[in-house]
Structure 1
Amino acid sequence: MWNCTSIITLPDSIGLLSRLQLLDFKGCRNLQKLPSTIGQLTQLEKLRVQECESLESLPDSIPTLPRLQHLFIDTCTSMSKVPETMGLMTGLTRFSTDLETEWHAVAVGQQHGLKDLLVRKCSDEGITWLDRNSSLAHLHHLSYFSFRDCPAMSKLPYTIGLLTNLDWLCLRRCQNLRELPNSIGQLKLLTKLGLTRCSSLETLPDCLGALTSLEELWIAQCRSLTKLPESIGHLSRLETLRIEGCGELQPLPESLRQLSGLMWLQILDCGSLEGLGVLRVLQGLRIWGCTSVINLSGSCLIVLDRKRWDPSWYRYDDGNQFLSVRGDLTEMRVVEANDCGSLRLVQDAESGRSILQRVHKVDCCQLITL
């Protein structure tokens, strides 16, 4: 019952729905109370009360639900506590909550069986309580940790390094986050790291190179980011590197040449490819071509290794057509395209070499070959 803003209460008879597995009241902004009879829903697996701004608390019977696996209580701005017996919810594997105050941090630390944790509206106070209580030390099974829509958060918990089984860390719209803690280098099993719209993030720590299991790194719309650490070259298992909308980024570190496992490199709207030193760095990478041959807006580069996909074709942006290229091509230099041009693969008439050529669509574009 999404966005049913007229609902204030629920009937006690809801406890008679003995086979109910999903109960979803997202966006019921005037819902004030859940009946205690919800504790009778022995088959309930998912309970969602996100954006229920008038909901003051959860009934004490919630922790007795034997099959509850997913609980979503974020953006419940009137809620000031959770049941004291939350620690009894040993089957809970996915939890979504705000992280503004002490009780939020305590609730997180009680869920020892969590695999997925999504927190919103984090404050530095909530982060401090999380560290002070060593709440993360108990989350031995946590695999996915996401911070979303946290404009008041300027730091991550330094105890994040205690999440020794963490596989994926996602930071999205954390506008005042200025740095990542050095303890992040302790996440030896981390395979995915995503940083999106963290507009105050200026640098990444040198300990980034200690993430020896990292396979995918996404950095998007981090407009204050000025450089990547040289230690990025130590990420021997990195397969995907995507950087988008980081206009202040300085020349890429020479250590990128050491990324022998890199299969996908994407640089989009980060200023001049020449200024970033892309061509200089790419000389040490195994590349076979550019996948954005149809529409390259801004300074854009996407390259793939032949291990990822068959290099004998590209897919067009519309997904319906293909462009054939030489299947034996192992290296290709890249040129910069602007908003009014695109790139295509051609055969040089004099040398016989395969080259990328800018195709001019309007008068302002000039033909450039490399």
Structure 2
Amino acid sequence: MTVLANGYVQGCLPDELKKVLKSVASELGDSIHDMDTLKVIPLKGAMTNEVYQINWPTTEKGLVRKVLVRVYGEGVELFFNRDDEIRTFECMSKHGQGPRLLGRFAEGRVEEFIHAKTLSAADLRDPHTSALIAAKLREFHDLAMPGPRRVLLWDRIRNFLREAKRLCSRKDAEEFNLDALEAEIGMLEEELSRDPHPVGFCHNDLQYGNIMMDEETKLLTIIVSIVFHVYNPVAYDLANHFCEMAANYHTETPHVLDYSLYPDEEERRRFVTIYLSSEGKEPGEDEVEQLVSDAEKYTLANHLFWGLWGIISGYVNNIEFDYMEYARQRFQQYQLRKPMLSGPAVSVSQDET
């Protein structure tokens, strides 16, 4: 018996999801007469949603249809508007980015199943794969999406701070020194906004689990897992990807980050060079150095964003993941890396590494 999120069990799916799956099957030329013929396979590695592969037999003997069901985690409405998410998802699909949307239900959505390999933590360090990611990320940043090309990073961090303050116990609020964070965010925004930075449509969560590769064609697909995807400085998105190299979400301690795996300067410079040259124009050395430097500074914004996300998730999400310890590590890294900027010294967390 396979247990789904929110207490769902295979063979006892909510009526709304059953109806959606039957409709999807019909549109794909299949039919589902007996829900017991469904096979539900949990997919590991998600930290906000729960993700499942659902299979059923087709009318053609021996062939199996596969779809992906994404069940929203508890409290995800604090992070995004579901209608906005679906609009973004559909628009990206029209641009050939990611899977097709097949159906929706109250707690999630049904997506096209991509027949490709999800990357592993080690894959991000492979030079050939990393080069493919760099080129694909540039393509993603160049997407023309609806809405204003306005940087939303700082608004989102401040929204997260408000939610963290609302949810936190006094003990946790004091540990993470939340009362000091508004000034810290203002200082960081001022420092990082002194010079103009190229803005693009950013993924903002480019961890290995959100990248898939067709093993025959070697083509990459970037997966939209939750709408963190908005216009931001592209340096912030590069910084996010570099920070994700410290993570492996498929271990017994998925919340533990190993910053010895953070890419060294040579790796970062190589990634940036490929990113800038992916449209056929050879970048100058100064352009490469500038983006490498900007990405390093934006790691600080990443640590604040994901640190606050961890605190909120620790209060609202039931997925087995130590969100609070994850948050501590992100704030500790913020403190360690903060000397790269000038500005008032404000303690973000009382924990020190």
Larger Rg, first or second structure (1 or 2) = 1
TM-score range, shorter chain: under 0.3
State the structure with bigger RCO (CA 8 A, min sep 6), 1 or 2: 2
- Normalised by the length of structure 2, the TM-score is 0.27
TM-score (structure 1 length as normaliser): 0.26
Indicate the structure with greater strand content.
Answer: 1
